[in-house]
Structure 1
Amino acid sequence: MAASPPRAAHPPLSGTPQVLGTIALSLAVFMNVLDSSIANVSIPAISGDMGVSPQQGTWVITSFAVSNAISVPLTGWLTMRFGQVRLFIASILLFVISSFLCGIAPSIEVLIAARVLQGAVAGPMIPLSQSLLLASYPPAKSGMALSFWGMTTLVAPIMGPLLGGWISDNYTWPWIFFINLPVGILAAWATWSIYKERESQVVVRPIDKVGLGLLVVWVGCLQLMLDKGKELDWFNSAEVVALAAIAFVGFVYFVIWELTDEHPVVDLSLFKGRNFSGGVIAISVAYGLFFGSLVILPLWLQTTIGYTATEAGKVMAPVGILAIMLSPVVGRILPKVDARIVASMAFTIFAIVFFMRSGFTPDVDTRTLMIPTIIQGAAMAMFFIPLTSIILSGQPPERIPAAAGLSNFVRIMFGGMGTSIISTLWENRSTLHHAQLVEHAVPGQNPAFDAATQSLMAQGLPQQGSWAVIERTLQIQANTLGATDIFYMSAILFLLLIGLVWMTKPSKSKAPVDAGGAH
């Protein structure tokens, strides 16, 4: 093991450098989080331009999430090997390059490859921005620093759908990636100018190459299986069976190797703790449901209800209003109350929101669409911080970075898998409902169908044209019923997660908690 000479801890910044440093770090985080949501409302435009289905277009989202999840556990080793400032700057610049590659991608395959690269290089950006920010402030002001940092992770999801929709409608979709170029270059230059003399100590340690290889194999094969299963008829396809087998065997070997290796890339022994395992499962399943809804709701609005990308973005944007308003309040009261109570309130609100969405119909108005979206912001404010507090409670200081990294890895991975599973369920449920509705659309056997046909023909349409209009109406109804089925199932799962929260031990936060879960 080789190490650079020990260096004294850097004093906090003050004055203009502190302000500019905070803005530069937050700008990089804003760019990163924005990119995880900006593509959601642009999927119909991207898939239409690339000649693929909207369901295949969701790979643009899942590929970013999965590669991002895989790279998060490597942050600790990379930081020791290269230094946190150099690694942070490299992460920003590589993110800018991969954003450019996304924008010029000529095919869906190239775009997905560029998004994989983008997600991978983005992994260290979030934890390193927090580390640099906390070192810039005295301990007494760390809460204020994290609060300001957390605001950027809540504003970005609001701006993402709005900006993505506006760009898709008024320009072309590549600009949702090109806008990262000036922002990233400015953030990298400002960060380097302020932090270049504040580099961390460099330590050369071995990396768990076998564990990392197994991690990439089983997570990659699992995501491919989920993405391709719906178009290959699942386990009737030899390719899907092979992917499932490789993912399962890779996962088993990964678990065995990580539990026995001296320097594991992922410290799985953390799951022995009840709070860690219960909290990670709860936050990961909930995040998968939440992130999946962020994908299918704008897809349903655009492909079924006829909304433009901008209109869909406006419906999604208000989710951050209450989140921004209530996050500081939750941060202040959390040290005084049981975190399980706050987390349970969050899951209850999530359940109410999804029950409201399960009543949507094809003629739903914008006001009805936006009410649950606004309410959902309150759940977001009470969701990430308390569950992170539960996950990290009882961990010794030296294990907190590993615990935070592993919990973020699982959560982000569930976000990617949740998108694939929910989009597949939506397609399957829509197909089922369509088949059931068509059974009743038989000439001469259903008076309602015959009356609808006669009414359309009276307006000048031929019989075949009338049937085509009715078929389109049935497809809209089927797609809507499929989406509302997903919302209803999600509501039930959120209620069940409350029981999981109460299986953990009582937890009270003694210090400012990472709000990075909002990413």
Structure 2
Amino acid sequence: MNGAVQASAGFPPSLRLIAGLTLAFANFMVILDLTIANVSIPSIAGGLGVTLEQGAWVITSYAVAEAICVPLTGWIAGRFGSVRTFLFSMAGFGLFSMLCGLSVSIEMLVICRIGQGIFGAFLMPMSQTLLLRVFPPEQQNIAMGMWAMTLLLGPALGPIIGGWLTDNWSWHWIFLINVPIAVLAAFAGAVLLRRVETDRQVLPIDIIGLVLLVVWVGCLQIILDIGRNHDWFSDPLIVALAITSAIAFLIFVVWELTEDHPVVDLRILRNRGLSVSLVVLSISFGAYFAGFVIIPQWQQAWLGYTATQAGFSSSFTAIGGLLTAPLVVMLMPRYDPRTLVSAGIVWLAMMGLTRTLWTSDSDFWTLSLPQFFLGLGMTFFMLPIINLTLSTVDEEEVASAAGLQSFMRTIATAFATSVSLTYWGDTQRAARSDIVAVLEPGAAGGSISRLGFSPDAVLQMFSNMVEAEATTLSVIHIFWTTSAILFIAAALIWLAPRPKRTGSMSMEH
């Protein structure tokens, strides 16, 4: 911290705000890219001639690449310097954003999204670290508040911006829009941030641990992405990938627990508060994100929404979170964080149950208001559990705990995306079979035929109705399932001991 104080003392006060906005905006751009593609998946899938499940690779590839690379941030910054790492990452993020926008196949797009995820993983913690070096201690709360706001604004604006660009331009622009922003941020960073550069040092890297991490996470994600199309474990390829992932994971755990400089410090999991908090965070965030993935696709594919309309509907969750964030920050020092977390998760579960009342005839506000009320409780869950996770470990372990927290959150996102889409498809087919089994179209079909419709048109009309209702029933089934999972998570948080330190939140990534 002394080095950060000295660095901030040498930084011209007149330039701090500009530097702070540059760093916060860089983080905002990365967070935005986590959600900007969600409402555009149907357009991407249609434009590239692939299924919705294959289009979801655009989301999962970014998230997994980020998850793998976040633990390397400390080593990269120490080896090359924080400012150099930030500038190089910004340039790489801008380059791969341009390549994403120029993609002509799903394979190219997924590869370029992996590149975005790799460089984005370094941008988030580096923007945070450099903010602490730009601002003096008495102003760091303002700086961290500025940085934290990007975590809420990114998900709020991502669907809206993505939807508007997709409707009025094309899906390519959700990536190309990053290019001029990246150029400006890199230029401003090169001019302003050189004076707060950190020392470079040669640090060992856990090569074996990194390889094992890539293998088990990569194999797991491939299973989740292609398993449904390959009939899961009936396909030898899926079996081979599962065995490889399991073996690599077990070796990874053993290796990381015995390595002097592990890429992921698993030894901190001896702390029960951290372990329980990470489990609850992963389960709850995954259950929440499942709805975040499914709803826009359902609205566009079956309810006739444009990408912009679906984006506005999805953004209500983050808008609600922005409204309650100041209240949660005020309550955190006064109450047991487990109480706030448990109450927040129960609220998420209750809002999930309200969404089981949706029908294929529900209007925009019937679909959007529950998402707004969901957002009101989201900060009661997210902010205290981040504080709970970091406040239960020793001071020297906070950085490792924060990195592990980010890793678990992004893996939960990727897992939820793949599993929810598979579950949605399976339950939709089951619901369709149930509807067809009890459907008696004879009388209704005769009435429609007398209106001048051909027999083929009548059959197509019934088929479309059955598909729409079956899809809606499968969406409702997902919310029943995720609500049950959330209720379980709300109880699990009480397995964590009450933290000794409350009311303060480390802002390490």
The TM-score normalised by the length of structure 2 is 0.96
My pick for the range that moved more, 9-18 or 51-60, is 9-18
Q: In the alignment, what sits opposite 2:222? A: 224
Question: Is 1:175 the counterpart of 2:173 in the alignment?
Answer: yes
Give 1:466's aligned amino acid: V
Q: Whole-Å Cα distance in 2 between the matches of residues 334 and 404 of structure 1?
A: 19
Q: Whole-Å Cα distance in 2 between the matches of residues 7 and 117 of structure 1?
A: 30
Q: Whole-Å Cα distance in 2 between the matches of residues 237 and 514 of structure 1?
A: 46
Q: Check whether the contact 1:146–1:514 (CA below 8 A) recurs between aligned residues.
A: no
Which among 468, 471, 475 is matched to residue 476 of structure 1?
468
**SS of the counterpart of 2:195?**
coil
Which structure 2 residues correspond to residues 260-299 of structure 1 after superposition, within 5 A? Answer: 260-299=258-297
User: Offset of 1:314 from its aligned partner?
Assistant: 1.3
Give 2:7's aligned amino acid: H
Q: Residues 14, 357 of structure 1: CA spacing in aligned structure 2 closer, same or farther, 3 A cutoff?
A: farther
**SS of the counterpart of 1:502?**
helix
Give 1:154's aligned amino acid: L
Which among 495, 504, 519 is matched to residue 487 of structure 2?
495
Q: Whole-Å Cα distance in 1 between the matches of residues 392 and 339 of structure 2?
A: 18
Q: Check whether the contact 2:65–2:117 (CA below 8 A) recurs between aligned residues.
A: yes
Give 1:321's aligned amino acid: I
**SS of the counterpart of 1:513?**
coil
Q: Whole-Å Cα distance in 2 between the matches of residues 112 and 168 of structure 1?
A: 18
Q: Residues 14, 400 of structure 1: CA spacing in aligned structure 2 closer, same or farther, 3 A cutoff?
A: same
Q: In the alignment, what sits opposite 1:83? A: 81
| 1:334-389 Cα distance to aligned partner (Å, 9 max, x none) | 12211111111210111111111111110011111111111121122212211011
Q: Whole-Å Cα distance in 2 between the matches of residues 420 and 403 of structure 1?
A: 26
Question: Is 1:338 the counterpart of 2:336 in the alignment?
Answer: yes
Q: Residues 14, 339 of structure 1: CA spacing in aligned structure 2 closer, same or farther, 3 A cutoff?
A: farther
Give 2:70's aligned amino acid: V
Q: Whole-Å Cα distance in 1 between the matches of residues 270 and 108 of structure 2?
A: 41
Q: In the alignment, what sits opposite 2:44? A: 46
Give 1:380's aligned amino acid: M
| 1:370-423 Cα distance to aligned partner (Å, 9 max, x none) | 111111211222122110111112322221111100111111111101100011
Q: Whole-Å Cα distance in 2 between the matches of residues 146 and 198 of structure 1?
A: 17
Q: Whole-Å Cα distance in 2 between the matches of residues 357 and 273 of structure 1?
A: 37
Q: Whole-Å Cα distance in 1 between the matches of residues 507 and 4 of structure 2?
A: 29
User: Offset of 1:79 from its aligned partner?
Assistant: 1.1
Q: Whole-Å Cα distance in 2 between the matches of residues 44 and 515 of structure 1?
A: 36
Which among 375, 378, 381 is matched to residue 379 of structure 2?
381
**SS of the counterpart of 2:116?**
helix
Which structure 2 residues correspond to residues 444-455 of structure 1 after superposition, within 5 A? Answer: 446=440, 449-455=441-447
Q: In the alignment, what sits opposite 1:257? A: 255
Which among 461, 464, 469 is matched to residue 453 of structure 2?
461
Q: Whole-Å Cα distance in 2 between the matches of residues 322 and 7 of structure 1?
A: 35
Question: Is 1:9 the counterpart of 2:17 in the alignment?
Answer: no
Q: Check whether the contact 1:384–1:515 (CA below 8 A) recurs between aligned residues.
A: no
Q: Check whether the contact 1:392–1:403 (CA below 8 A) recurs between aligned residues.
A: yes
Q: Check whether the contact 2:313–2:364 (CA below 8 A) recurs between aligned residues.
A: yes
Q: In the alignment, what sits opposite 1:321? A: 319
Q: In the alignment, what sits opposite 1:185? A: 183
Q: Check whether the contact 1:99–1:181 (CA below 8 A) recurs between aligned residues.
A: yes
User: Offset of 1:280 from its aligned partner?
Assistant: 0.5
Q: Whole-Å Cα distance in 2 between the matches of residues 367 and 516 of structure 1?
A: 38
User: Offset of 1:14 from its aligned partner?
Assistant: 5.5
User: Offset of 1:107 from its aligned partner?
Assistant: 0.4
**SS of the counterpart of 1:112?**
helix
**SS of the counterpart of 1:362?**
coil
Q: Check whether the contact 2:334–2:503 (CA below 8 A) recurs between aligned residues.
A: no
Which among 105, 108, 124 is matched to residue 106 of structure 2?
108
Q: Whole-Å Cα distance in 2 between the matches of residues 210 and 325 of structure 1?
A: 45
Give 1:489's aligned amino acid: T
Q: Check whether the contact 2:338–2:494 (CA below 8 A) recurs between aligned residues.
A: yes
Give 2:8's aligned amino acid: P
Give 1:51's aligned amino acid: G
**Residue segments in structure 1 that go unaligned for 5+ positions in a row:** 1-5
Q: Whole-Å Cα distance in 2 between the matches of residues 499 and 493 of structure 1?
A: 10
User: Offset of 1:195 from its aligned partner?
Assistant: 1.1
**Residue segments in structure 2 that go unaligned for 5+ positions in a row:** none
| 1:257-299 Cα distance to aligned partner (Å, 9 max, x none) | 1111111101111111111000001111111122221111100
Which among 403, 406, 409 is matched to residue 405 of structure 1?
403
Q: In the alignment, what sits opposite 1:3? A: none
Q: Check whether the contact 1:340–1:506 (CA below 8 A) recurs between aligned residues.
A: yes
My pick for the range that moved more, 285-294 or 174-183, is 285-294
Q: In the alignment, what sits opposite 2:155? A: 157
Q: Residues 149, 512 of structure 1: CA spacing in aligned structure 2 closer, same or farther, 3 A cutoff?
A: farther
My pick for the range that moved more, 151-160 or 324-333, is 324-333
Q: In the alignment, what sits opposite 2:302? A: 304
My pick for the range that moved more, 43-52 or 148-157, is 148-157
**SS of the counterpart of 1:172?**
coil
Q: In the alignment, what sits opposite 1:396? A: 394
Q: Check whether the contact 1:338–1:508 (CA below 8 A) recurs between aligned residues.
A: no
| 1:156-201 Cα distance to aligned partner (Å, 9 max, x none) | 1111111111111111111000000111111111122211111112
**SS of the counterpart of 2:260?**
coil
Measured on the aligned residues, the alpha-carbon RMSD in Å equals: 1.6
Q: In the alignment, what sits opposite 2:119? A: 121
Q: Whole-Å Cα distance in 2 between the matches of residues 195 and 73 of structure 1?
A: 24
Give 2:412's aligned amino acid: F
The TM-score normalised by the length of structure 1 is 0.95
**SS of the counterpart of 1:106?**
coil
User: Offset of 1:304 from its aligned partner?
Assistant: 1.3
Q: In the alignment, what sits opposite 1:62? A: 60
Q: Whole-Å Cα distance in 1 between the matches of residues 72 and 453 of structure 2?
A: 63
**SS of the counterpart of 2:351?**
helix
Q: Whole-Å Cα distance in 1 between the matches of residues 376 and 227 of structure 2?
A: 35
User: Offset of 1:322 from its aligned partner?
Assistant: 2.4
Q: Check whether the contact 1:221–1:244 (CA below 8 A) recurs between aligned residues.
A: yes
**SS of the counterpart of 2:497?**
coil
Q: In the alignment, what sits opposite 1:486? A: 478
User: Offset of 1:509 from its aligned partner?
Assistant: 5.0
Q: Check whether the contact 1:389–1:508 (CA below 8 A) recurs between aligned residues.
A: no
Q: Check whether the contact 2:7–2:195 (CA below 8 A) recurs between aligned residues.
A: no
Q: In the alignment, what sits opposite 1:19? A: 17
Give 1:150's aligned amino acid: A
**SS of the counterpart of 1:55?**
helix
Which among 231, 234, 252 is matched to residue 232 of structure 2?
234
Q: Whole-Å Cα distance in 2 between the matches of residues 452 and 36 of structure 1?
A: 46
Q: Check whether the contact 2:128–2:144 (CA below 8 A) recurs between aligned residues.
A: yes
Which among 133, 136, 139 is matched to residue 138 of structure 1?
136
Q: Whole-Å Cα distance in 2 between the matches of residues 511 and 136 of structure 1?
A: 24
Equivalences, count: 506
Give 1:475's aligned amino acid: E
User: Offset of 1:7 from its aligned partner?
Assistant: 10
